[in-house]
Structure 1
């Protein structure tokens, strides 16, 4: 990274990317935080970032009010942000509007709709000549059954603005409609696609896709939330899908009018044909970006910061292998009685890094989401198959015991 531009970055939860920015952008980073996300920022992380200027958006205040207050606040800093980065999927609408009111580069309201409202997104995909699953918005079980009569079961039901498979379900027949409440959010349904599901990440500068990196998924996200292995494998070798990924993403970048940033997309390959799934203009979830750094041997987070700072990144690759992140199970809610140590994980074949988010004695809460985990490991190998095999060995040897806290209550 080079240059002297200053970045305002949304910080609503700790991540490998935000921690990298904290380390690398000394004197050139200002944090944008939201009071309603205070519980997602642990005390040790707040201490770790306590030297950085941070503007807190208050609960209950309008975005316009807070942007005006920000302009007064930031004028008193020794450095004033000129660029903006939002790594948070659920904050897109409010964050991008805030950035616009603060006079910073941002996604327009239309662009936010394109990357957050999946029905709007898929409609635009089709306008750009891309195939998608059949889909429609729904408000009742009757409408779902009507769609199924035309396109068959199974179906996928999701909120139009969902992420990480939160509140996303596979419906195998009319019996799965019992108890559904479709009144609180905007919902859509789409035909379930077979074939192979892939991911691709890309970085963009000046409206041009600089490069695109494929990821294999041993298990689909919808299977992951129901207990399947939770992993992504960056394919730095020649095993990726037979698709011009840079051209695929460029079609969307041009059609969505995206100037710069990190993009993450899922797509399906069915009998040699690409079906566009979904795309986000923000960093991929879990540790997918870090996988690309390990697979290609370059500073992926530094390259990402560069494009958000308006600078051309160094994309000199020093490695060509497969590297994946395996999320470690979090089997329930309660008290962690014991868990495999980091040192034990690092001693397993192919494991080059391990992070535990919990330890013995901690209280944990499991969620039905694709990022639900007690930690993660990075695993490398010469092929997708070798990485997946090593991941399954890690899962076989990894142990976590979570017991309900009620079992430890002291009798009165």
Structure 2
């Protein structure tokens, strides 16, 4: 990639995007890391990115103080960053505030609220003329029951700032409230929507949505955290939803006032009508961006970096197919005893890439989150149905055994 501007990249976990940026922007990339994210940054990844300058925000320090320390530190670099990119959903508020105090392009406090506080987000959607599920902020089980009395069971309960379905629950009746602590966080409740749930990703420059890429979800995220197949399929063919996606996302981008970046949206189609779900102004999770690159045959990460560097990307598509990421199960907590090898995965129909995050002998911890996985594969096909069928074959042939430290197998 050409150009002299240097990018400050928020880096709190290894990702395909961060690894791409580390390779392609050597000499023009600086990493922003928070000390409390150190457990999520494996030694192998730290060695892999050791050639890049990295500023560590210290635990217990104020954002303002650390931003001042960063400015002094960056003044000693050959070229100080002039652009900023935050791919992290949970650190959106602190990362954007840091960027503001460091004098870099950033989302405002209001914009962060609209893409993090899901109740405020849905209020904004309605102000922009979009349909949403019925919703309300709640603080007690009684509040949830009053909402359900008006709108019916089931309902969806979630923290307003949740991500990856962490602490998100489908409640089929009052009995499902048992064990949920409603005092520690801010919560909201939504009417459960039927219909088809879709995703759409977009890149934005100068306030303009340059293009949108839809994704089908074989299983809903709420079903995924309860054990359903965890997959997303980028639809580069005519099978996408019958919706003007560019106009839909442009309405939101204009309403929020976003200048540039990557946006990821979830929405429902019910009897031909769109119901806006949620939107994030950061890269989509899992390997969804990479799916788009495979489905359209272009450099999706390069295009994303371009808009964060203030340049118009090359969207020269060379392919039109369907491509998805299938997250491989992580069924328990303990030690990995056995796992299907990468070579075996690559021999399966439609699999073009495979990444295993764990090996035999590794300790693992299962979590109730939509990104919980032992690895992933990328699967391609001529249609959504073919990709999904191939994914299910991978799952049928994939094996992982997790045992207690004494060697007793507890999950397969």
TM-score by length of 2: 0.98
After TM superposition, give the deviation of residue 4 of structure 1 in Å.
1.0
How far, CA to CA, are the matches of 1:32 and 1:40 in structure 2?
14
Give the CA deviation at 1:180.
Answer: 2.2
Instruction: Measure the CA separation in 2 of the matches of 1:300 and 1:375.
Output: 21
Question: In structure 1, what is the Cα distance between the partners aligned to 2:402 and 2:26?
Answer: 40
Kindly provide the CA deviation profile for residues 289-328 of structure 1, in whole angstroms up to 9, marking residues without a partner as x.
0000000000000000000000000000000000000000
- Would you say 1:335 and 2:342 are equivalent positions? no
**1:79: how far off?**
1.2
Q: State how far apart, in whole Å, the 2-side matches of 1:272 and 1:406 are.
A: 55
For each residue in 1:95-126, what CA deviation from the matched residue of structure 2 results, as whole angstroms up to 9, or x when unmatched? 00000000000000000000000000000000
Q: State the secondary structure of the residue aligned to 1:405.
A: coil
Deviation at 1:2, TM superposition (A): 2.2
Q: 2:32 maps to what in 1?
A: 32
What is the DSSP-based 3-state SS (H/G/I as helix, E as strand, rest coil) of the residue aligned with 2:211? strand
Does structure 2 retain, via aligned residues, the 8 Å contact 1:165–1:369?
yes
CA distance in 2, matches of 1:372, 1:180: 21
TM-score (norm 1): 0.98
Aligned to 2:386: 386
Indicate if the aligned counterparts of 1:230 and 1:327 stay in contact, CA closer than 8 A.
Answer: yes
| Structure 2 partner of 1:88 | 88
The equivalent residue for 2:23 is 23
Match of 1:364 in 2: 364
> 2 CA distance for matches of 1:95 and 1:341?
37
Match runs of 1:212-251 below 5 Å? 212-251=212-251
**Partner residue in 2 for 1:49:** 49
| Conserved? CA contact 1:357–1:375, under 8 Å | yes
1:406 Cα deviation from its structure 2 partner: 4.3
Tell whether 2:287 aligns with 1:291: no
Instruction: Supply the RMSD in Å over aligned alpha carbons.
Output: 0.9
Which residue of 2 is the match for residue 403 of structure 1?
403
Structure-1 residue corresponding to 2:187: 187
Runs of 4+ in 1 over 3 A off after TM superposition: none
1:26 deviates by: 1.3
Residue in structure 2 matched with residue 304 of structure 1 by the alignment: 304
8 Å CA contact 1:237, 1:321 repeated in 2? yes
Matched, 1:275 2:269: no
Number of aligned residue pairs: give it.
409
Separation in 2 of the partners of 1:176 and 1:4? 55
Partner Cα distance (1:251, 1:166) in 2:
28
- C-alpha distance in 1, partners of 2:70/2:276? 38
Give distance in 2, aligned partners of 1:278 and 1:398. Answer: 32
**Distance (Å, rounded) in 1 between the aligned partners of 2:31 and 2:246:** 32
d(CA) in 2 for partners of 1:386, 1:51: 42
Structure 2 residue 323 is the aligned partner of structure 1 residue 323 = yes
The offset of 1:178, in angstroms, is 2.0
In the aligned structure 2, how far is the partner of 1:239 from the partner of 1:168? 30
Q: SS of the residue aligned with 2:132?
A: coil
- Structure 1 distance, partners of 2:101, 2:179, is 42
Distance 2:179 2:59 in 1: 33
Give the secondary-structure state (helix, strand or coil) at the position aligned to 1:254: helix
- 1:177 deviates by 1.6
Task: Provide the C-alpha distance between the structure 1 equivalents of 2:79 and 2:35, rounded to a whole number of angstroms.
Answer: 23
SS of equivalent to 2:33: strand
1:141–1:180 contact (8 Å) kept in structure 2? no
Structure 2: which 5+ residue stretches go unaligned?
Answer: none
- In structure 1, the partner of 2:375 is 375
In structure 1, the residue matched to 2:353 is 353
